[in-house]
Structure 1
Amino acid sequence: MSRPLLGKVCVVTGASRGIGKGIALQLGEAGATVYITGRTFTPNDTPLPGSLQETAKQVEERGGTCIPVKCDHTDDKQVEELFNKINKEQNGRLDLLVNNAYSGVQAMLEGPTNKFWELDPGFWNTVNKVGLRGHYVASIFAARMMVPAKQGLIINISSPGGLTYIVSVAFGVGKAGVDRMARDCAHELREYNVAAVSLHPGAVKTEMVMDMLTRVQNGGKEYLVTKTSVN
């Protein structure tokens, strides 16, 4: 089996399920050492469904090396400690950061409305604190490792919602911000041989989206059908 990423050190945020989990599995299979983060961390390292330990177990079953780290991306200190841990354990090496952690999907899909004037102003933070702001904070600490090494790649998982209306105003503005952040980070990092990009996976059959669709088919709220194209 070809292992083109053997020796590379990667971080995937929000990897207990969904897109993040899929990325972690592929990176591990390609030979990378993958640090994965999330809030679903089970006691005694039991690989329960939807947990970081389950993702780590599956990465290792594919021949990869995976280190699950419980991390709340609303807490800057926890994010800093994550990168300090990687810095110490990997002798300062970090090749790839995938900013994927996002906490707003369920709130958007299950909310009573998507009209911005009918929502509590705090909905903005629900949608964008872990997403847009969390990506920015993780990128700061990753860049502090990549810039001295003059190599690295930062990937933001975004959405077509940054280009056209999907779901809500807060969602679209957040995704547009994620895209612009990648562009501007790339501008400042270019002279240090570090790249930053934004990816739009489009509609993905993640565990949460499939659960929502099942509930709609079983008589749930019909408006959910039009709200499932989110990342």
Structure 2
Amino acid sequence: MERLTGQVALVAGGTRGGGRGIAVQLGAAGATVYVTGRSSGGERSDMDRPETIEETAAQVTAGGGTGIPVRVDHSSPDEVGALVDRIAAEQDGRLDVLVNSVWGGDPLADWSLPLWEQDLDTGLRLLRQGVETHVITSRLALPLMVARGRGLVVEVTDGNTARYRGAFFYDLVKSAVIRLAFAQAAELKPKGVAAVAITPGFLRSEAVLEHFGVAEGNWRDGVAADPHFAYSETPAYLGRAVAALAADPDIMDKTGRALATWGLYKEYGFTDADGTQPDWAAHWDDTLVGEYGPLGDPL
């Protein structure tokens, strides 16, 4: 589990959910991880949730890595630029893994109305929060990777196919994030830097656990409300997928691809926190395809 010892990672949007899972598992593999977001012990973001970047960083360190929390609004080029300057100064210009996991868009996504009935300002804010933050962070952080001729960019999304996700602006953001990985891969490949998109399956984030009225220790009690919840996965599963990618000496073979936990566990052999290997695509094909259609081929 020390495959990434000596490596430096930036997990943008590492406060909770998939971002936290990725940060912690990169730490478990030995990396130094800068954990960024707007929710800190001193100030909550407009998400107004209790999780903080300090908590994530502490989990990174407890797991065997070095966690460094930095409060950053990734919509601000000035704040992101200051973060990158700090990483360059503290790590001798080294950045091995950049994870763009900024989201915070759940309160902004409208799942009930079509585009022509939605609030335009809210939808455009969702685009700025879920896409522009990724562009800003990559623009300012990538020079560190390009200068060294190696590295991995991970764009965290929802789904790895062209299938419509059920809400206009939500779908646009998550599809655009995949395209961000594809476009970065095209430009970075000659520089020796890889870029991929990755999706979890049914993710048991903190907010999802609250929705079902359970905690991780008794999460299976939520299956009574939704049988599909039985096939969910923890953020650690996504984190272990990213850690495996970061440690893969042949990662350039995957650059430009949209990947998923349900495919990568078969290749790398990692498990979820409880030792299982959830496969959301297989469950979809077994039980949901008749109602919702196929997931589709990966982009």
TM-score (norm 2): 0.66
Q: How far 1:208 sits from its partner (Å)?
A: 1.3
Q: Output the amino acid matched with 2:90.
A: E
Q: Which secondary structure does the structure 1 equivalent of 2:120 belong to?
A: coil
User: Does 2:158 match 1:159?
Assistant: yes
Q: Which secondary structure does the structure 2 equivalent of 1:43 belong to?
A: coil
- Quick one: distance in 1 between partners of 2:105 and 2:83? 22
- Quick one: distance in 2 between partners of 1:205 and 1:114? 26
- Quick one: distance in 2 between partners of 1:89 and 1:29? 21
5 Å matches for 1:39-118? 39-43=38-42, 49-108=50-109, 111=110, 113-118=112-117
Q: Does structure 2 conserve the Cα–Cα contact (< 8 Å) formed by 1:80 and 1:141? A: yes
Q: Output the amino acid matched with 2:153.
A: I
Counting aligned pairs with the same residue, the percent is 36
Q: How far 1:213 sits from its partner (Å)?
A: 3.3
Q: Which secondary structure does the structure 2 equivalent of 1:35 belong to?
A: strand
- Quick one: distance in 1 between partners of 2:156 and 2:73? 18
User: Does 2:133 match 1:137?
Assistant: no
Q: Which position in structure 2 is the counterpart of 1:12?
A: 11
User: Does 2:124 match 1:128?
Assistant: no
Spell out, residue by residue over 1:51-108, the C-alpha distance to the aligned partner (whole angstroms, 9 max, x if none). Answer: 1111111111112101000011121211111111101111110000000010211332
Q: How far 1:161 sits from its partner (Å)?
A: 7.4
Q: Output the amino acid matched with 1:186.
A: A
Q: How far 1:13 sits from its partner (Å)?
A: 1.1
- Quick one: distance in 2 between partners of 1:81 and 1:166? 35
Q: Which position in structure 2 is the counterpart of 1:33?
A: 32
Q: Which secondary structure does the structure 1 equivalent of 2:196 belong to?
A: strand
Q: Which position in structure 2 is the counterpart of 1:181?
A: 180
Q: Which position in structure 1 is the counterpart of 2:218?
A: none
- Quick one: distance in 1 between partners of 2:131 and 2:160? 13
User: Does 2:23 match 1:24?
Assistant: yes
Spell out, residue by residue over 1:127-149, the C-alpha distance to the aligned partner (whole angstroms, 9 max, x if none). Answer: 22121111111111121111111
Q: Output the amino acid matched with 1:142.
A: A
Residues 62/206 of structure 1: CA separation in 2 closer, same or farther (3 Å cut): same
Q: Which position in structure 2 is the counterpart of 1:229?
A: none
Number of equivalences: 215
Q: How far 1:155 sits from its partner (Å)?
A: 0.4
Q: Which secondary structure does the structure 2 equivalent of 1:196 belong to?
A: strand
Q: Output the amino acid matched with 2:139.
A: I
Moved more, 201-210 or 146-155: 201-210
Q: Output the amino acid matched with 1:170.
A: F
Q: Which secondary structure does the structure 2 equivalent of 1:180 belong to?
A: helix
- Quick one: distance in 2 between partners of 1:40 and 1:183? 30
For structure 1, list consecutive stretches of 5 or more residues without a partner in the other structure: 218-224, 226-231
For structure 2, list consecutive stretches of 5 or more residues without a partner in the other structure: 44-48, 215-220, 222-228, 230-299
Q: How far 1:126 sits from its partner (Å)?
A: 2.9
- Quick one: distance in 2 between partners of 1:208 and 1:161? 22
Q: Output the amino acid matched with 2:70.
A: V
- Quick one: distance in 1 between partners of 2:16 and 2:111? 25
- Quick one: distance in 2 between partners of 1:112 and 1:157? 21
Q: Which position in structure 1 is the counterpart of 2:210?
A: 211
Moved more, 114-123 or 82-91: 114-123
Q: Which secondary structure does the structure 2 equivalent of 1:160 belong to?
A: coil
Q: Does structure 2 conserve the Cα–Cα contact (< 8 Å) formed by 1:162 and 1:179? A: no
- Quick one: distance in 2 between partners of 1:99 and 1:42? 22
- Quick one: distance in 2 between partners of 1:116 and 1:74? 24
